[in-house]
Amino acid sequence: MKMNPWTLSVLLLLAGPLGADPDWHVEYPDSFCVVEGSTATIPCSFTHPMVKEAITAPPAGLRVERVVWCANLEFCWHPVYNGYDSNSVLTSSRFLYLGDLVGNCTLNITKMLKRDAATYRFRIETNGVGWTGPNGVRVNVTDGEDVKVRSSVTDNVVKEGGQVTLTCTSACSFHQLDVHWYRNGHALSETGPALHLSHLTNGDTGNYTCSLDSSGQKTSSPWSLVVVEDEGFHRSVHLVVAVVKGVVLAVLLLLLAGVVLAKRCSNKTNEI
C-alpha cells in the first residue's frame, strides 16, 4: 500500500504527542521567572529524526519549513500572534528566535509584560511532518515588588576591616538578571546578584539598595550598614606609632650627641 504524504503526516502527528518516537524531543526548563520590563532568554534545544536525516543525507527532500513558539496552546498549529512564528509577519517583534533549524530553539522575549505570563511550547514543521514539544515552559512575570537586600551578617554594625556580602533576592531566580547596587541612592560600579564588601572603612557606612534593571525601578527597601572603629585594632596601631616615634627620637638624640661630641673633639684639635 502506498501512503500519501498527508496520511503519513497525520499518523506522525498522532504518534508525536504520545511520545512513541524517542527521536522527537524538545528540552526546555519547566518554569522560568522574569521581572516585568526585563528580557528573558529561554534556553531550548530539540532533536528531530527528519532533521537528522536531512543533514546526513541532504537530497532526502525534507526541509524545515516552520518553527513556532506558541502561548497556552497544545500544538501551535494555527498562525501564532502571541509568541513567535517563522511563517507569520504578525507576531510581536518582542519575540525573537535566537535558535536555528537544526537543534537550537532558544527564544528571547524583550520588555516582558505581565500578560506574557503563559505556558510556551515549541513546534517544528518540515515539508512532511510537524511536532510540538508537549510539556512547555511555564513563564512567570513578577513585578519586582518583593525585591529585598539580604546580608551575610545578622547585625547591621560591622567592625572596620571586616567584610559583608549583600544579596539581592526576589521571587524570581536571578540568573541573567541585570542587578544594580546603590549606596545612599548613588549607583555603585558593581553589578550582579551579590555585592561583596571587604576591608570595610567608615566610607562604606550607608543605606544599600538593589534594583532589577538599570532604570532604577523595582528597587528594594534600604539595608543600612554601620562600620565602627575596631578598638583593638586602633590600640595596636597606636602602640606601633608610639614605638616608631620613640625609636626616631632616640636616633635623633644619638645623632645630636654625636655631632656635639665631634664638634668638641675638633675644637680640642684646633686648640692644640
Ligand X SMILES: *[C@@H]1O[C@H](CO)[C@@H](O)[C@H](O)[C@H]1NC(C)=O
d(CA 151, CA 136): 36
**Which CB sits closer to ligand X, 36 or 83?**
83
206 binds ligand X (CB under 6 A): yes
Out of 207, 217, 223, 230, the only residue in the binding site for ligand X (CB under 6 A) is 207
Helix, strand, coil abundance in the chain, percent, nearest 5:
25, 35, 40
Element (H, E) at 182: strand 180-183
131 vs 208, which CB is nearer to ligand X?
208
With CB under 6 A as the contact rule, the residue among 9, 82, 88, 106 that binds ligand X is 106
Q: What are the grid coordinates assigned to 24, written together?
A: 522527537
What is the contact mask toward ligand X in residues 223 to 262, using x (rule: CB under 6 A)? Answer: -x--------------------------------------
Count the residues of the shown chain that bind ligand X, applying the rule CB under 6 A: 10
Q: Does 39 bind ligand X (CB under 6 A)?
A: no
Judged by CB under 6 A, the residue of 98, 153, 241, 250 near ligand X is 98
Contact 171, 63 (CB under 8 A): no
Does 176 help bind ligand X (rule: CB under 6 A)?
no
User: 148: closest CA among 197, 92, 210, 191?
Assistant: 210
User: Min. distance of Cβ 39 from ligand X in angstroms?
Assistant: 13
**DSSP at 222:** P
Q: Does 184 engage in binding with ligand X (CB under 6 A)?
A: yes
Minimum CB–partner distance for residue 77 and ligand X (Å): 25
Calpha distance 57→270 (Å, rounded): 112
261-268 long-range CB contacts below 8 Å, 24 or more apart? Answer: none
d(CA 26, CA 46): 4
Among 7, 72, 87, 104, binds ligand X (CB under 6 A): 104
Give residues in contact with ligand X (CB under 6 A).
Answer: 45, 98-99, 104, 106, 184, 206-207, 222, 224
